Amino acid sequence: MAVTTQQLIQWKQQGRAIVALTGWDYAIAQLLDAAGVDLILVGDSLAVILGYETTLPITLDEMIHHAKAVRRAVKRALVVVDLPFLTYQESVSQAMQSAGRVLKETGAQAVKLEGGHPAMVETVARLVQAGIPVMGHVGLTPQSVHQLGLRQQGKSPEAGERILNEAIALEQAGVFSIVLEHIPAHLALQITQKLRIPTIGIGAGSDCDGQVLVTSDIIGLSEKQPPFAKVYTNLREHITQAVQKYAVEVRDRQFP
Ligand code: KIV
Ligand code: NA
């Protein structure tokens, strides 16, 4: 049965951990879906796969192009698409247009946007009122890299309380779930206990309702991984060996 936003909330109540990963094309999304991943995020970390240094340059058109490929592959998982930098921060109507394009053109079920300050909470509330499922994202928010860096967030009690309050405000605005990125485990636990909606952690300890990682990090395709990623297989090595073997065989006229 296809995963819904309501299902994720039920799984939190039942204590069933939610498995999420990023996906960026048909081939990878098909594998993730068939392997039983519950939520596939077309994250703007796609920017790094496309060779950008940060998530900032990726456009809404590029996100939509990839989200359509992911959607064509997925039968069961919930597909969530990041709204890229400056396609939703300007105004409610800009956010509505961007989120509307994603849902109408890709068939994805939800969008994710970063931040929990009052203007963003207002934007989220308006999207949700319009019938658009929204996922929140607080803690380290990579679209603010030039303000925050990529450091762990919420370390001091004041900073922790600010993130907790952002998460509460986003829940009140109607998000169906929220990503907690690179914050202390005790803070993620506190937020997870406080909220009715599921928390999906990345570098936020083991007490979140689910976990998400960037797929290219866990399969060893990224040039570098964040400290909290776990590398489950080294595809760079496997691919290099395969390609080198092929090159040798072609040069030696062993293949075909
Ligand atoms: O873009 C992304 O991959 C993300 C996850 C790390 C949560 O936002
Ligand atoms: Na992202």
Task: Give the tens place of pLDDT for each residue, 114-139.
Answer: 999 999 999 999 999 999 999 999 99
pLDDT of 46-88, one tens digit each? 999 999 999 999 999 999 999 999 999 999 999 999 999 999 9
Residue nearest to atom 8 of ligand 1 (CA): 43
Which pLDDT belongs to residue 146?
Answer: 97
Cα–Cα distance for residue pair 220/234, rounded to 1 Å: 4
Model confidence band, residue 104 (pLDDT cutoffs 50, 70, 90): very high
Single out the residue of 125, 80, 137 nearest to residue 103, CA to CA. Answer: 80
Determine contact, residues 166/144, Cβ cutoff 8 Å.
no
- In our burial notation (b when 16+ CB lie closer than 10 A, e otherwise), range 6-39 reads ebbbebbeeeeebbbbbbbbbebbbebbeeebbb
Among all bound ligands, the one having the nearest atom to the CA of 199 is 1
Which pLDDT belongs to residue 28?
Answer: 98
Question: What would the mean pLDDT of 99-109 be, rounded to a whole number?
Answer: 98
Q: What value of ipTM does the predicted structure carry?
A: 0.99
The pocket of ion ligand 2, defined by CB under 5 A, consists of 43-44, 82
Which pLDDT belongs to residue 110?
Answer: 98
Q: How far is the CA of 112 from the centre of ligand 2 (A)?
A: 8
> For residues 84 and 224, which has the higher predicted lDDT (pLDDT)?
84
Residue to mutate, 28, 32, 39, 44, ligand 1, most ligand atoms under 8 Å from C-beta: 44
Query: Would you call 4 exposed, middle or buried from its count of C-beta atoms within 10 A (0-12, 13-18, 19+)?
Result: middle
Cα–Cα distance for residue pair 109/98, rounded to 1 Å: 14
Question: What would the mean pLDDT of 8-18 be, rounded to a whole number?
Answer: 98
Helix (H, G, I), strand (E, B) or coil at 206: coil
Question: What would the mean pLDDT of 104-117 be, rounded to a whole number?
Answer: 98
Residues labelled catalytic: 181
Atom of ligand 1 nearest to the CA of 214: 3
Site residues for ligand 1, CB cut-off 6 Å = 22, 41, 43-45, 82, 179, 202, 212, 214
* Fold that domain 5-213 belongs to in CATH: TIM Barrel (3.20.20)
Residue nearest to atom 4 of ligand 1 (CA): 43
Among all bound ligands, the one having the nearest atom to the CA of 45 is 1
